[in-house]
Structures are given as structure tokens and as C-alpha cells.
């Protein structure tokens, strides 16, 4: 099998062959006592998911023990205990708990313990009323097993999170100051008030929502209660493809004081926003916004700067990565290569804690311009890594707010026997001084957060600060 490209967040850049994928998917022992190994996949999509069975739970269990970067510190019994806790919690929540649903004793032997767990799992699930409940129990077991790792780059994905048509999005048509993913994996970074940061099109655009509009309730539930974020409320703002349940929002517009309620139904739409956009600010500064570190995004940034250079003699560049969700790790050294050559911007460390330096891509011509970077709590994964390099290598001032700190490691995607996938961090990423960024984030040099009031009034104090510094 070819060596595979890596990612910092759920972006797909993998390379298992179709032959290997066909062997792995759908071929596990029906009893789950000897599940097939998971196989790394580059498939952009899989066939529709089938029933998740004990064999799938076993694949996730083995996949973590075989590929997770911290597998040397994993206790297989902890994984199974977490899965069993998820199973019983689901039973209890549905009012169908069982008197003998007790965690069986485990000996610390990976294979033998799986057989013991699988036998108990099959006994319990054989008594469930229907396949729908069995599916929910299986999902709860997998989610709980993964959740026990407390790792923001390990997750189970059932079905596509977005439509397969190129150039389209699915959802409500806006991004918010906090996401369900941020709330789940980095709740300390999720702060109220929840507000719209960008309108991307679709339902939100049709209802004339604007950046800065404060979301005071989602289907009647406040997104924050006593400063604690509600993962459930935020999850409703990011519906998956096929989930077309309407979402009712209670809104307030700070600039005018207006309050109103609107109902949005998720749909497929063509986004009005682009991955990279650029404009001249103050006459001779290139302000470039980069929404993701998607494939080719670094070259798009450089092309946008080159185009503005034809319009004016630039004295600097402001790179705005606020809300950037990350993407391909390979884009980071390429973009950094335009700022500096011959530098180590970070490290990747394997299970044996052997760390490989990551170097700037010196094939990229230097910009030769001063640069300032705008960040916030929505800057995640590859964006975290990029910002840490800019700050650590002193390539320019970082302005805004601390990044999300959701950058546990380089993740790969593995196919399972129910046509779902599990993404697993196989290497851990560190900053240029070998500092840990995950769970901590990167602090700005100048703390200038962008508030809902700023957005609603059309102000951008962080951009103003960057222009002043440049």
C-alpha cells in the first residue's frame, strides 16, 4: 500500500487501494469475536451505511490499539469499559436497562478481553426490541469508547457530513462564533454570546441574517446556561446531510436592538463565500481571508496577493484565519514557505515519541512583505499549527484571540465493515519549540477580540490594529 498523505482535521487525503478497502468492509465475523482489521481509506465517499454490529465495535477497538499515536499508553480494558458504559447509558436512557448488563471481568489480554466483551454485548443486544435500538446502542458504545480518549482528532463518522456535489454545502447557511465540535472538544474556548460570524448563503441568506446577529435560543434552548455551553443546542446548528428538520432561532441584532424569531430548514446550496478572498485595505495592504487549509489553499492565498500587487505597491499583508477550521497539513509548510525559508515550524511525534522536524517549503518564493495574522477561538487544527509557527518563529504579529487548541495530531481515516469510518490521530503535533498546543491554543501578541457588537456595526478592531502595526 502507498504511503499516505496526512491531515490535521477531518479533511480526506488518504490512499488505501480499492482492493484493500473491499477486503475490509463487510467481511468481519458476524459474531464480532474476530473482527477484521480496519484499513486506511482514501475514498471520498462510501456506500450507504449498513447496520452497526458488534463486529464494527470490535474494529474500532482494534483500530485504536493498532494506530492511535498514544496506543503505548492505552489499556485495552479502559476502551472496553468506556464502550460498555456507553451501551448501558443508552439502555438506561431508553428505559430498557437489563439486570445482568454488568461489565464482565477483564484480564488485560487484548484478544481474550474482546471475546469476553463481545459475548456480553451479544447477550444484551439480542434482547433489544428492534434494529433501530440496536443501532443506537452500537453507536453509543463506539462514541463512548472514542470519547474516553478525550482527543479532538479521533471520531466516528456515519454517513457524509456534506453533499457529494462539488462546490455545494448543506446546512443553514451560516457559521457561528462557537461550533458543536468546539463545544464538545474544547468547551473552555466556547464563550457567549453565540453569534453569527459569516453568512455563507442558503436559508440564512434568504432570511437576511447578518454577521453579529446574536442567537439567544435554538429551538427554545439557550446555547449557554450559566456560561456553560450546550453541545445539544449547537449541534442543531450543524445538521448532517439528509437531516432536514427545521431549526427555530431567536435572534437579536446588536446594532439596532431588533429581536425576532426565524425558522430555517437545512438545504443544499452553493456558498456565496470562497475559501480565499482578498481586498486592498488602506490603499496598499493586502487583506486576505482564508477559511480553510483545504487542498491548494496556500497557492490561492499567494495568487490573491500577486493579483493585488498588480493593483498597488503593497506595504504589507494581513492574513485573516479567524474561524479557519483547518484541513490539509501539507498546506501549512507551503504557506509558511512564503514567509521564511530554512526554518523548522513544528514537530510530529510517533508512538515511540520520536519527533520528526517539519520544515518550511523553500520551493515557494518569499513574499518579502511584512505580515500580520488575525486569529480567534475558531482557528483550529492546521490553523492552530500555522499560527503557532508564525508566533514561535516571529514571522509577524498575531492579533485577535487565542486559537482553539484543537490540534491533537495528524489524523487518518479508516473504513469499517458498516460503511462508516473512524478518524484516528496517528502522530501528535508540537510547535516550533516542541511546545504543546493541543488543549491550550496559541495566544495572540495583541488581544483584540471581534465581538458580536463589532460585527453587527461593521467594525473590525483587529484589522485596524494590524493596519496600524504594518
List the domain boundaries for the chain: 18-154, 169-269, 276-407+440-469
Mode of pairing for the β-strands spanning 398-400 and 371-375: parallel
Instruction: Specify the CATH architecture of the domain 276-407+440-469.
Output: Alpha-Beta Complex (3.90)
Cα radius of gyration rounded to whole Å, the chain:
23
pLDDT of 151-182, one tens digit each? 888 989 875 444 445 577 888 999 898 877 77
Beta bridge mates, 280: 286
Cβ within 8 Å of residue 458, ≥6 positions away? none
CB 439 within 8 A of CB 405: yes
CB neighbourhood size of 172 (10 A) = 27
- Alpha-carbon distance of 291 to 315, in angstroms, equals 23
Position 311 pLDDT exceeds 90: yes
Residue 351 has what pLDDT?
75
Instruction: Specify the CATH architecture of the domain 169-269.
Output: Roll (2.30)
Position 344 pLDDT exceeds 60: yes
- Tell me the helices (H) and strands (E) count for the chain, helix number first: 13, 21
CB 215 within 8 A of CB 183: no
pLDDT of 253-307, one tens digit each? 999 999 999 999 999 888 877 889 999 999 999 999 999 998 999 999 999 999 9
pLDDT of 14-58, one tens digit each? 333 333 333 333 333 445 567 788 889 887 777 888 999 999 999
What is the SS3 assignment for 467? Answer: helix
CA distances to 108, 207, 223 from 248, in Å: 49, 12, 13
Q: Mean pLDDT over all residues of the chain?
A: 87
pLDDT of 358-372, one tens digit each? 999 999 999 999 999
pLDDT of 63-96, one tens digit each? 999 999 889 889 999 999 999 999 999 999 999 9
Residue 15 has what pLDDT?
37
- Alpha-carbon distance of 218 to 330, in angstroms, equals 37
Position 229 pLDDT exceeds 50: yes
Q: Which residue has the cell 431588533?
A: 258
CB 13 within 8 A of CB 5: yes
What is the SS3 assignment for 420? Answer: coil
Q: How many residues comprise the chain?
A: 470
- Alpha-carbon distance of 278 to 288, in angstroms, equals 4
CB 238 within 8 A of CB 179: yes
Residue 159 has what pLDDT?
59
The pLDDT-based confidence of 8 (bands split at 50, 70, 90) is very low
Q: Is the pTM of this model over 0.75?
A: yes
Mode of pairing for the β-strands spanning 421-430 and 155-157: antiparallel
Amino acid at each position: 500500500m502507498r504511503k499516505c498523505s496526512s491531515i490535521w482535521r477531518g479533511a480526506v487525503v488518504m490512499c488505501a487501494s480499492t482492493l484493500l478497502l473491499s477486503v475490509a468492509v463487510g467481511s468481519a465475523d458476524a459474531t464480532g469475536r474476530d473482527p477484521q482489521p480496519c484499513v486506511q481509506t482514501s475514498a471520498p465517499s462510501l456506500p450507504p451505511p449498513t447496520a452497526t454490529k458488534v463486529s464494527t465495535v470490535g474494529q474500532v477497538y482494534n483500530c485504536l490499539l493498532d494506530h492511535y499515536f498514544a496506543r503505548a499508553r492505552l489499556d485495552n480494558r479502559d476502551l472496553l469499559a468506556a464502550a460498555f458504559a456507553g451501551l448501558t447509558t443508552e439502555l438506561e436512557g431508553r428505559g430498557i436497562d437489563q439486570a445482568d448488563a454488568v461489565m464482565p471481568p477483564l484480564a488485560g489480554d487484548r484478544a481474550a478481553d474482546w471475546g469476553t466483551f463481545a459475548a456480553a454485548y451479544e447477550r444484551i443486544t439480542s434482547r433489544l426490541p428492534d434494529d433501530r435500538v440496536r443501532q443506537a446502542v452500537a453507536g453509543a458504545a463506539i462514541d463512548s469508547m472514542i470519547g474516553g480518549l478525550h482527543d479532538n482528532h479521533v471520531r466516528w463518522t456515519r454517513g457524509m457530513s456534506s453533499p457529494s456535489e462539488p462546490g455545494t454545502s448543506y446546512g443553514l447557511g451560516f457559521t457561528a462564533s462557537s461550533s458543536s465540535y468546539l463545544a464538545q472538544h474544547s468547551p473552555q474556548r466556547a464563550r457567549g454570546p453565540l453569534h453569527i460570524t459569516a453568512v455563507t448563503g442558503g436559508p440564512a441568506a434568504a432570511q437576511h441574517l447578518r454577521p453579529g446577529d446574536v442567537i439567544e435560543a435554538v429551538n427554545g434552548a439557550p446555547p449557554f446556561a450559566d456560561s456553560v455551553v450546550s453541545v445539544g443546542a449547537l449541534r442543531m446548528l450543524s445538521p448532517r446531510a439528509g437531516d432536514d428538520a427545521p431549526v427555530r432561532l431567536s435572534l437579536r441584532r446588536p446594532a439596532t436592538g431588533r429581536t425576532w424569531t426565524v425558522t430555517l430548514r437545512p438545504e443544499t446550496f452553493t456558498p456565496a463565500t470562497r475559501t480565499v478572498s482578498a481586498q486592498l485595505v488602506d490603499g496598499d495592504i493586502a487583506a486576505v481571508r482564508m477559511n480553510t487549509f483545504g487542498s491548494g489553499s496556500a497557492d490561492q492565498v499567494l495568487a490573491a496577493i500577486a493579483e493585488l500587487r498588480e493593483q498597488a505597491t503593497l506595504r504589507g499583508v494581513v492574513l485573516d484565519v479567524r474561524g479557519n477550521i483547518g484541513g490539509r497539513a501539507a498546506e501549512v509548510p507551503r504557506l509558511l514557505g512564503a514567509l521564511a525559508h530554512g526554518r523548522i515550524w513544528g514537530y510530529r511525534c510517533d508512538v515511540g515519541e520520536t519527533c520528526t522536524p517539519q520544515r518550511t517549503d523553500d520551493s515557494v518564493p518569499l513574499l518579502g512583505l511584512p505580515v500580520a495574522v488575525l486569529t480567534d477561538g475558531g482557528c483550529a487544527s492546521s490553523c492552530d499549527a500555522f499560527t503557532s509557527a508564525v508566533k514561535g518563529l516571529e514571522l509577524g504579529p498575531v492579533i485577535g484571540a487565542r486559537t482553539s487548541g484543537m490540534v491533537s495530531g495528524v489524523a487518518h481515516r479508516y473504513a469499517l465493515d458498516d460503511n462508516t469510518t473512524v478518524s484516528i490521530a496517528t502522530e501528535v503535533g508540537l510547535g516550533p519549540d516542541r511546545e504543546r498546543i493541543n488543549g491550550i491554543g496559541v495566544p495572540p501578541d495583541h488581544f483584540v477580540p471581534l465581538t458580536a457588537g463589532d460585527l453587527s456595526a461593521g467594525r473590525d478592531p483587529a484589522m485596524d490594529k494590524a493596519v496600524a502595526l504594518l
